[in-house]
Amino acid sequence: MTTTKIDRPVPRRARGKGSGTGTALRLLARRVHFLAGILVAPFLAVLCLTGLVYVFSPQIHDDLYHGDLHVNRASGTPHPVSDLVRAALVAHPEGTVSSVITPAGPDRTVRVVLSVPGPPGTPDRTVFLDPYTGFINGELATVADRLPANTWLRALHSNLQLGEPGRIYAELAASWLPPIVIGGLMLWLARTRRKRRAREVLLPATAGKSGWVRLRGVHGSVGLWLSVGLLVAAVTGLAMSQFAGGRADQRIDPVHLRAPALAAAPVAVPAGVDPIGIDDVIKMAADAGLRGELSVRPPAAPDRPYTVAEMSEGLPVQRDSIAINPYTAAITEHIGWRDYPLPAKLSLLAAEFHTGSLFGLANQIVLALIAAGTLVLIAVGYRMWWIHNPYRGRWASIPRGVWRQGPWPVLLLVTVVAAALGWVLPVFGMSLAVFLVVDIVVGGILRLRKPTSGIRRL
């Protein structure tokens, strides 16, 4: 006997009428948070793991290079810096003095940075000298005044030692982190008024719960506490990124993210007048109010000035720099922290916070907690996904047709915001375009494969 069963198709949501604004935004937030989180989480996990190591690089440096950075005994009268420079040149006559870095404290060595012959990209040779004995404590290959471990860890965190192409992975994770965090906050707080008390929102509600519900409580409350830190870490990281933050390194800087730099304009070279020495330059810099670790650069040519810049990181901010005429001993330029535009100040503070140097050990601990908490969020999130994984036929977490269900003003606003973010964050814009194309193609394939007849023979 043949029977027929007529399946009534599930009615679609009415097109054109749209859902309420709140419902449409929640559906969109769920889709972005779920899909973007699944795809970006591996990159974010790598950033957290490498960042956990990089943020403690000052302690790593002091341990690895203790003999280079510290004097044997801080006693006696320091030698003139000019004597130390001569000692470094005697040891390396092939080198040219690129800069001299004065010690940040009485127990630190003087660093003489030498440019050495070699192909483009050859590291500098930095000689560490004990100012009390005049002896060389050690020598290291440095890049942009960074010690080898710092250079290696910085490259590992920013590009996985893959060079400029590898920086895309870090910028991809940082670009998508704010939408993921905001989407998660919207989902977690949307049900508060109806189904959860404030305590359950702020603290993991695990008593009497198990499985997916228990994991959701941990994921939501931990994400809530980490949300501000994650957003700050993402924004500060993007400020140093290749495409978003890298625009500040271009000749045109419309928002003034770059720190102002000395012009170091040429000076007149009078006949029969000898230039002043580096000891006089350091004394003049101290009289001008420059403190802490100083980078002194000698003239690159007879008609160029000395330049001196403060290097000490952290608070209070010390970023003054001066140019000194080597023949008249006059300060021709002086740029102070007050001369920095507000965007440049924020950019510098953001960079120091992101590297853990803005307020010392406390800054490092904050970043370490954010990284560790993010790894917990990722692990719990993947476990939640595995419980509701698509191989069990549960795609409820990523409902399709979100764009068709929202009111047109909401869709217009979301489109404008996405376009603006895509312009400011190019990696985000390109990856979003790829995601939309793939989503449209997958949706079209699923619609073609969907049965058109509701009659099925048994």
No. of helices (H) and no. of strands (E), the chain: 15, 10
User: How high is the pLDDT of residue 44?
Assistant: 92
CB 375 within 8 Å of CB 47:
no
Edge-to-edge strand order for the sheet containing 306-310? 136-142, 124-129, 110-115, 96-101, 294-297, 306-310, 321-324, 331-335
* Contact indicator for 108, 69 with CB cutoff of 8 Å: yes
* Helix (H/G/I), strand (E/B), else coil: 324: strand
* 3-class secondary-structure state, position 299: coil
Give 275's contacts (C-beta < 8 A, 6+ positions apart).
299, 302, 326, 327
DSSP H or E stretch at residue 194 = helix 192-195
Q: What is the largest CA-CA distance in the chain?
A: 118
Tell the CATH topology of 66-146: Nuclear Transport Factor 2; Chain: A, (3.10.450)
Closest by alpha carbon to 203, among 185, 221, 227, 228?
221
Instruction: Tell me which residue of 104, 52, 110, 120 sits closest to 78, measured CA to CA.
Output: 110
* Cα(439)–Cα(84) distance, integer angstroms: 64
Tell me what pLDDT residue 21 has: 67
Listed by start position, the domains of the chain span 4-54+161-242+363-457, 66-146, 260-339
Residuewise pLDDT in 10s, the chain (458 residues): 444 444 444 444 444 444 566 676 777 778 788 888 888 899 999 999 999 999 999 999 999 999 999 999 999 999 999 999 999 999 999 999 999 999 999 999 999 999 999 898 899 999 999 999 999 999 999 999 999 999 999 999 988 888 877 888 888 888 889 889 998 888 888 765 556 666 667 776 666 677 777 888 888 888 899 999 999 999 888 877 766 665 555 555 556 678 899 999 999 999 989 999 999 999 999 999 999 999 999 999 999 999 999 999 988 899 999 999 999 999 999 999 999 999 889 989 998 999 999 999 999 999 999 999 999 999 998 888 887 765 454 444 444 555 555 667 767 777 888 888 777 788 888 888 887 787 777 767 767 776 654 444 43
In angstroms, rounded to a whole number, what is the distance separating the alpha carbons of residues 383 and 212? 8
The CA-atom distances, in angstroms, between 280 and each of 47, 128, 307 are: 45, 21, 13
CA 325 → CA 100, 180, 284, 337, 416, distances in Å?
Answer: 18, 53, 11, 22, 52
The pTM of the full predicted model, rounded to 2 decimals, is 0.81
> Two tokens at 135?
């002896």
pLDDT in tens, 308-331: 999 999 888 999 999 999 999 999
Q: Residue 78 and residue 106: Cα distance in Å, rounded?
A: 9
Beta bridge partners of 297: 307
Residue 96's identity, in one-letter code, is T
Q: Which residue has the tokens 């420079």?
A: 85
